[in-house]
Amino acid sequence: MSSLISIVSHSGFGHTEKLAQAVAQGSGGALLAIDQHGELSPEGWAQLAASRAIVFGSPTYMGNVSWQFKRFADASAGVWSQQGWKDKLAAGFTNSAGINGDKLATLHAMFTLSQQHGMLWMGTGMPPANAKTSTRDDINYLASFAGLMAATPSDASVDELALGDLLTARAFGERVAALVRRYN
């Protein structure tokens, strides 16, 4: 059964995939994987066409989306020519090793993609956890407004994503679901 919300993402080594799963838990959305060749199945494209909201996800590689995500983005030009995603809701998330690591550039790439398609972008809408008393387990400790950010040390396993980032991803998914209900 098709979902109103789709989370379409690429992950090279599984960390961003774990984040995508948390967004799916929060939103009730369907997970769609861009594979290691940058391809999405025909069923995946059909799911996106039927969705009310599309959440884009990619690791940050060299300060941008992965080439696999970019291949998917370029392939969406076919949808663009039919204005197939116009007025759908959109959001984005990324994960990288550095606390900063130029993640904002990745979110901007996703934002630009959404605007080329005429979509409506949703930020986190979350207050930052930036007080002296804040901890890494807090929601939005990375203080991102444009989209969901997570930081996973370069030598951390998939099972070592920060609890705070997973909670943030879940809350981000809940926000996406709430906005879909509001603007449906």
Ligand X SMILES: Cc1cc2nc3c(=O)[nH]c(=O)nc-3n(C[C@H](O)[C@H](O)[C@H](O)COP(=O)(O)O)c2cc1C
Residue 184 and residue 178: Cα distance in Å, rounded?
A: 10
Interface pick for ligand X out of 4, 5, 8, 16 (rule CB under 6 A): 16
Residues 126-155 that bind ligand X (CB under 6 A): 152, 154
Stretch that binds ligand X, among 7-15, 41-49, 68-76, 113-121 (CB under 6 A): 7-15
Question: Residues in contact with ligand X, total (CB under 6 A)?
Answer: 19
CB-count exposure of residue 126 (10 Å: 0-12, 13-18, 19+): middle
- R_g of the chain, CA atoms, integer Å: 15
Q: How far is the CB of 93 from ligand X (least distance, A)?
A: 11
Of 66, 63, 64, nearest to 8 by C-alpha is 66
Question: Residue 120 in 3-state DSSP?
Answer: strand
Instruction: Rule CB under 6 A: say whether 59 interacts with ligand X.
Output: yes
Q: How far is the CB of 102 from ligand X (least distance, A)?
A: 5
Q: How far is the CB of 37 from ligand X (least distance, A)?
A: 15
Stretch that binds ligand X, among 10-18, 112-120, 126-134, 166-174 (CB under 6 A): 10-18
Residues that bind ligand X (CB under 6 A): 11-16, 59-63, 95-98, 101-102, 152, 154
